[in-house]
Amino acid sequence: MALAAIALTSGCAAPRASTASDPLESFNRGMYQFNDAVDKAIAKPVAQGYDAVMPVPGKIMVSNFFSNLDDVIVTANDLLQLKFAQAASDGSRFLFNSTFGVFGLLDVTSRLEKHDEDFGQTLGYWGVGSGPYVVLPLLGPSTLRDGAGLYVDSRPSKLRRVDHTRTRNQLYITKAISNRAELLEQENVLDEAVIDRYAFIRDAYLLRRQSLVHDGNPPRQKYDEYDDEEEVQQEPKPVPIPTLPTSKLEQAPSVKSAAIEAKPLPTVEPQAGVDGPRRNILKVWVAQR
């Protein structure tokens, strides 16, 4: 999850959208601190070592392998959401990458779009609300709906079907390390951009999940405080100008007739004994009168 990019573009609306969805904030903050302590002590150092030792082609192959296994869950949820064209695309990705891509190590279907669907999104697609925000031990941000979705998605998982316990656990650990290593760069942006990491991650997670449920086109949320300001700033409706009836218009004097009836300005005849300048001043005075 590109938490930093999403939260930076969310603006000031994110806290308003998520505060009401976090009634368990005191518990969640404690669990977040626990997860953060485990991450700093174990997960992050191991991921940094993996990132430093593993060559880039190897990291890409490991990421492709687990991403290919996830396409099985994605395809199943495509069908549950009645997205048949998308299910055909994701199913084709899994089929060709598992065969021609050597068990998914190579992404030979890079031209096909990679989708991200899970059972939590499927529940949201059919109108189930997200419920309160909750931080799960070691798993991190989630909601009541998405937590149930994680359990359902784990049932058809290919990793779960590995019979050898040690091999299965090693695959789970390798997948977790690979995912954690991919977040190292985003974490640097996260550390520089925020003060309250808990609120930042919470808001980013909720916005991202809402976007995924609505396929990148979430409905506009109405905030009463801002919407009221917009209504006040709207231009007032034009007031209709009352019109006089025809009989009144006939009786009302027109501007043209008033101009005709206007009396002309009196003329000043030159008086004997008055010189030119004084005569001009007299003309101006009469005109002003």
State pLDDT tens for residues 130-139: 999 999 999 9
> Under a CB-based contact definition with an 8 Å cutoff, are residues 20 and 208 in contact?
no
Query: 125: pLDDT confidence band, cut at 50, 70 and 90?
Result: very high
Distance in angstroms (rounded) separating the CA atoms of residues 123 and 81: 9
State pLDDT tens for residues 52-87: 999 999 999 999 999 999 999 999 999 999 999 999
Tell me the two tokens of residue 130: 């997200």
Looking at the predicted structure, is the pLDDT value of residue 270 above 70?
Answer: no
Q: Any bridge partners for residue 142, and if so which?
A: 134
More confident of the two residues 287 and 44: 44
Count CA within 13 A, CB hemisphere, residue 36: 11
Alpha-carbon distances, residue 69 vs 54, 87, 160, 202, 203 (angstroms): 21, 15, 11, 27, 29
Query: Given this model, what pLDDT does residue 209 score?
Result: 95
> Under a CB-based contact definition with an 8 Å cutoff, are residues 221 and 10 in contact?
no
Query: Given this model, what pLDDT does residue 158 score?
Result: 86
Query: 282: pLDDT confidence band, cut at 50, 70 and 90?
Result: low
Percent pLDDT > 70 in the chain is 69
More confident of the two residues 236 and 197: 197
Query: Given this model, what pLDDT does residue 193 score?
Result: 65
Q: How many other C-beta atoms can be found within 10 angstroms of the C-beta atom of residue 267?
A: 8
- Least Cα distance to 182 among 102, 62, 32, 81 occurs for 62
Indicate the residue type of 108: V
What average pLDDT does the structure give for the chain?
80
Looking at the predicted structure, is the pLDDT value of residue 277 above 90?
Answer: no
Residue reference for tokens 């809402």: 210
Listed in sequence order, the DSSP H helices in the chain are: 3-10, 13-19, 25-38, 44-53, 56-80, 84-99, 119-125, 144-154, 165-182, 184-193, 197-213, 224-233, 246-251, 255-261, 276-288
State pLDDT tens for residues 2-57: 444 444 444 444 444 446 789 999 999 999 999 999 999 999 999 999 999 999 99
State pLDDT tens for residues 158-214: 888 888 999 999 999 999 999 999 988 878 777 776 678 899 899 999 999 999 999
Looking at the predicted structure, is the pLDDT value of residue 285 above 80?
Answer: no
Distance in angstroms (rounded) separating the CA atoms of residues 246 and 252: 10
